[in-house]
Amino acid sequence: MSQNEPSPIASSPHPVAARRTLRAIAVFEAIKGFAALIAIIGVVDLMHHDVRHLAEALIGRFRLSPDGRYSSIILHYADMLPGANVQALMWLAAGYILLRFMEAYGLWRDKAWAEWLGALSGGLYVPLEIHHFMQRASLVNGLVLLANVIVVAFLAMQLRRRHRLVQRGFGARRPSDLP
């Protein structure tokens, strides 16, 4: 951390808990990045197969009704995949993966820019998650919404604490010098 960037963790009433929370969020963001990487590798691998046949086999394996809702969704996307713009998909995935890894690195290193990135990117999902929860209320949807709100609130609290430190003139001091 640069000397001009105060650490809100050092001024936290519970600095160990704040650091662990920030690092837990960083690990979660890295896991999301790895999951996206694995998913895009899987999609690219599927491009070289008969996706419709694989989808039908999957439906049969899980004994889903061929006329059911989930079967029609699976078949719909299986039919769309061969015609997908792979280059655009790869660029979007690369951007998302890079964003998640950058955020994870910055949060692990207690960087203000990463807190901003996390709060803004997480905050963008909250209205969508509320809408999704209102459409399909479930325990999982509720937990995802709650977890995202908690993460955004924690990062906003860290940013506010960091801003207060700068206003008090602690910006040029090392975190270990803070009261």
Is there a contact between 1 and 106 (Cβ–Cβ < 8 Å)?
A: no
User: What share of the chain in percent tops pLDDT 70?
Assistant: 88
Same domain, 166 and 120: yes
Torsion sign over Cα 129, 78, 83, 85: positive
Instruction: Give the mean pLDDT of 57-86.
Output: 86
Q: What is the pLDDT of residue 154?
A: 95
E strand or H helix that includes residue 175:
none
Confidence of residue 12 (pLDDT cuts 50, 70, 90): low
Which residue is associated with the tokens 């990117």? 121
Q: How many domains does the chain have?
A: 2
Is there a contact between 152 and 122 (Cβ–Cβ < 8 Å)?
A: yes
pLDDT at 52 over 50: yes
Same domain, 132 and 162: yes
Residue 137 CB coordination number (10 Å): 9
Half-sphere exposure of 76 (CA within 13 A, CB side): 7
Same domain, 97 and 130: no
Q: Tens digits of per-residue pLDDT, 84-125?
A: 788 898 999 999 999 999 999 999 999 999 999 999 999 999
End residue of a domain, out of 83, 104, 125: 104
Same domain, 63 and 20: yes
End residue of a domain, out of 104, 133, 164: 104
Which of 37-51, 69-83, 161-175 bottoms out in mean pLDDT, i.e. has the lowest? 161-175
Report DSSP letters for 33-101, one per residue: HHHHHHHHHHHHHHTTS-HHHHHHHHHHHTT--TTSHHHHHHHHHHHHGGGS-HHHHHHHHHHHHHHHH
pLDDT at 143 over 80: yes
End residue of a domain, out of 62, 79, 104: 104
Quote the domain boundaries for residue 168.
111-179
